Amino acid sequence: MDLRAEAPADKVETLVSADPSAALDDAQRALLDYARKLTLTPASCCREDIDALRAAGADDTMIHAAVQVAAYFNYINRVADGLGVEPESE
């Protein structure tokens, strides 16, 4: 997907800069941080994390979507790694 076709140019520039989270609002940044935590240290995720996401402005639909996407990509990457699948060249 060409991100430039999907978002305003200034957002794209910020996303590819050294601090891509600067283009995100508080809820999006909190969801990104939570997805990182869910990926790297899933056993440390707790109810307080969900409360913090809500406090940052994320609703239950956003939280559910973020968890589903992070979980799916973590799952599929582990399946591919476990089977020794090599990435396709573009």
pTM (2 d.p.): 0.73
- Tens-digit pLDDT profile for residues 28-81: 999 999 999 999 999 999 999 999 999 999 999 999 999 999 999 999 999 999
| Between 25 and 16, the higher pLDDT residue | 25
Is the separation of the CB atoms in 62 and 31 below 8 Å?
A: yes
Amino acid at 59: D
> How sure is the predictor about 8, in pLDDT bands with cuts at 50, 70 and 90?
confident
All structural domains of the chain, each given as residue ranges with its CATH number in brackets, are 25-90 (1.20.1290.10)
Cα 81 to Cα 12, 47, 75, 76: the distances in Å are: 30, 30, 10, 9
Is the separation of the CB atoms in 39 and 74 below 8 Å?
A: yes
